[in-house]
Chains A and B, each alone.
Chain A
Amino acid sequence: MAETIAVLNPMGFAPRVTRRALAPRLPTLEGKTVFLVDCRFDDSDLFLEQMRAWFTEHLPGVTPMVKRISSVYLNDDPATWEEIRSRGHAAIVGVGH
C-alpha cells in the first residue's frame, strides 16, 4: 500500500461575500430615458451607436442617450453615475471584454 501524506492548502483567504441589492426593474421602458454607457473600450462607442439606432427604429417611445465615461473604466466615475441617476431611468453599460 502506497504511503500517504498530508499537505498544506496553497490558496489564500477569500473574503466573505455578502449579497448586494439589485435595483428594481422598470415596469416598461416606454417614455423612459435609457443611458447607453460607453466604457471606452475597443470601439464600444461604435457599437452603442448601433444600439441607439435600434431603439429609435423599434422603440421610439424610449429616449436612448449615449454617454461616455469620463476617464478610463478602471476609475470610478461618480459624476457620470449621478448624472445617469438624475436624468435617466435605466442604463446599458458596454462593451466589456
Chain B
Amino acid sequence: MTLEAKYGVPTVALHTDKFDRVVRSVAAVSGMPGLRQVFVPQPIMGKTARELRGYVDGKDQITGRPVMQEVVEGLTRPFEGGEEGPSEFDRASARLIGPDTAERLERLFLDSHWTDGLPIVLPTEERVAAMLAGTRRRAGEVVGRMRSTHFREYWEYSVEKVAVNAVMAGARPEYFPVILALAATGVTARSSSSSAMASMAVVNGPIRHEIAMNAGTGAMGPYNHANATIGRAYGLLSQNGQGGSVPGLSYMGNQGNSYAYNSVTFAENEERSPWEPFHVQQGFPASESAVSVFSGCRSTAFALGLRERHWREHVRNLLRGMDPSIPPTLLLDPLAARQFVDRGGFVKKADLIDWLYDTARMPAREYWDYQLVQNYIYPRATFGEEPWASKLRAAPDALIPMFRREDIHAVVVGGETNGYWRIMGCTYQKSVSVDRWR
C-alpha cells in the first residue's frame, strides 16, 4: 500500500487465500479498496520449489483465473469507474441500541461479535452510570486507542466506552480504575496474529487488597471475581475498542487461545515475594498501584520446585523448550521463588535474570533456523540491529543467548500449596498507574 500511495509504483499484493477477507478489509479501511490483490493457496511454508511453481502456474484461489494473468493485468489494466472506492466514508455508530427485549439484545451482541461467546451483562444506561461512578474521569474523555495489528487503523475509545465493556464483563465499579489503566496501555488483548496470542495483566500495589484481588491460591483463575472480570473486561474493551475481533476478518489466530478469556489477569503476591514488586522494578513507588501488560502469551512450561543436584539443568531444559522469538517470564509461587534464592543465591531478582540470560543458550545454527526467528529476528540482524547482528556473526556451533536480558522477567504469584512454577513465553509491554484512573 505504501508503494502505491506514497511512491506511485503500480503494485500487486500477493497473499494466501486464507487471508482474503482480512486483507480486503485492511485495504478498504486504508482508503484503497481497489488495491490489486492475488491469492495463491495456503501454505507457502515448507513447500518444494516444484509445488510453489504449481502455485504460480495455477489459479487464483478467489477468482479462479490464472494467477499470472491476474498479476499482469493487475499491473496493466486501468482502473474502471468506481473501482477505487468512495472518496470518503464514515463508520460512526449510534450511542444507544434499542429499545428491544433483553433476549433479542443479547442475541444481537453475540451475532455482532461484540462478546467472547459467553453470556454478558447488558450495558444499560443505569449500569454504565454506576460503573462510571468508579472513576472521577469524565465519561467523554478519550482513554486511548488500539488496533488489532500493525496494518490496521487505530480506533479510539472513551471512558464511557470502557465502562460499557466493563459492565458487559460483569465487573464492579470499584474495579474500574484498573480496567481504565488497562485500556490506557493501548496494548490490545485481541491481536489478530495467526499465532493466536493472548495477553497477561499483572496488578501491583494497594488496589489489590482494596478490590480483593487474588495473588495466592488459584490466583491465575478461576474463582476470584475481580481477577476474572477485570481480565475479561480487558479482552472485551480490546476487541470492541479497536473496532472488532472477528475470526477470518480481523482475528486470524489459527488455534485460538483460552488464555484470552480473561487475559491471564492476577495480582502479584508482593507480601510473600523475596524480591521487590514488579511495578517497583518499572519505576513506580510501592505505595502506588499499577497494572503491567504482557503480550504474546502462547507457550507455558512448568516444573515443581528446584532439585538440589540438577536444578540448573532442569531450568535450562525448560528454557530450551521455549520458542526463542518469545522471551520467558517466570511465574513463581513464593515457595519456588525462595528456592531460587536458596539454591542459586539470587538475593536480588536481577541476579536471577542474569543467570537465566546466561543459561538460555543454544547453538547458533539451531537458533537461526527457527521459523519465527527467520520471520522476525533474522531480518533485523541483517539490517544491523543489535544484539542480533552480533549473534549472526557467531560460528554455527557457538552457544548464543536465546533472549535479550532486558526481555526476561519474573513475577511472584501463588498460595504456597506447593512449589509449582511456570514459564510464560510473553513480551512485557508497559505498566500504567491505576491511581491516575481512580
Docked complex Cα distance between A59 and B69 (Å): 12
Q: Does the CB pair B77–A14 fall under 8 Å?
A: no
- Residues of the A chain whose Cβ atoms lie less than 8 Å from the Cβ of B19: 96-97
| Residues in A neighbouring B3, C-beta threshold 8 A | 23, 37, 81, 84-85, 91, 93
Determine which of A6, A25, A70 lies in contact with B79 in the assembled complex, contact meaning CB atoms within 8 Å: A25
B88 touches A47 (CB 8 A): no
How many chain-A residues does the 8 Å CB contact rule pick out?
65
Cβ-defined partner of B75 (8 Å) among A29, A42, A72? A29
B379 touches A71 (CB 8 A): yes
Minimal beta-carbon separation of A44 from chain B (angstroms): 6
**Set B34, B42, B57, B68: member contacting A22, Cβ < 8 A:** B34
Q: Are A54 and B240 in contact (CB under 8 A)?
A: no
Taking each of A37, A47, A53, which has the highest tally of chain B beta carbons within 10 Å of its own beta carbon? A47
Q: Name B120's closest neighbour in chain A (CB-CB).
A: A10
Contact: A97 with B79, CB < 8 Å?
no
Interface size class of B (residues with CB under 8 A): 35 or more
Interface residues of B in 66-111 (CB under 8 A from A): 68, 71-72, 75-79, 84-103, 105, 109
CB distance from B209 to the nearest CB of A (A): 30
Find out whether the CB atom of B124 lies under 8 angstroms from the CB atom of A58: no
Residues of B within 8 A of A88 (CB): 9
User: Does residue B309 face the partner (Cβ distance < 8 Å to A)?
Assistant: no
Q: A13-B156, A81-B3 are in contact. Are A22 and B32 (CB under 8 A)?
A: yes
The yes or no answer to B234 lying at the interface (CB within 8 A) is no
B window 369-390: CB within 8 A of A? 371, 374-376, 378-380, 382-383, 385
Measured CA separation A37–B11 after assembly (Å): 10
The number of A-B residue pairs with CB atoms under 8 Å apart is 275
A12 CB contact (under 8 Å) in B53, B75, B157, B379: B157
Give the distance to chain B from A7, nearest Cβ to Cβ, in Å: 5
Determine whether the beta carbon of B91 is less than 8 Å from that of A14.
yes
Cross-chain contact A7 with B97 (CB below 8 angstroms): yes
Instruction: Given A50-B56, A74-B150, check contact A5 B68 (CB 8 Å).
Output: no
Asked if B380 contacts A71 (CB within 8 A), the reply is yes
Instruction: Name the B residues within 8 Å of A5 (CB-CB).
Output: 98-102, 105, 122, 124
Q: Is A6 touching B371 in the complex (CB atoms < 8 A)?
A: no
In whole Å, how far is A9's beta carbon from the nearest beta carbon of chain B? 5
> Would you give the shortest CB distance from A14 to chain B, in whole angstroms?
4
Is B179 at the interface (CB under 8 A from chain A)? no
Within 8 A of A (CB), among B12-54: 12-16, 18-19, 23, 28-32, 34-35, 40, 42-47, 49, 52-53
Closest to B143 in A: A12
**Which residue of B8, B31, B96, B99 contacts A4 across the interface (Cβ within 8 Å)?**
B99
Residues of B within 8 A of A3 (CB): 101-102
Q: Select the stretch in B160-168, B294-302, B339-347 that faces chain A.
A: B160-168
Q: B residues within 8 Å of A by Cβ?
A: 1-16, 18-19, 23, 28-32, 34-35, 40, 42-47, 49, 52-53, 55-57, 68, 71-72, 75-79, 84-103, 105, 109, 114, 122-125, 128, 145-146, 150, 153-158, 160-161, 164-165, 168, 194, 236, 240-244, 371, 374-376, 378-380, 382-383, 385
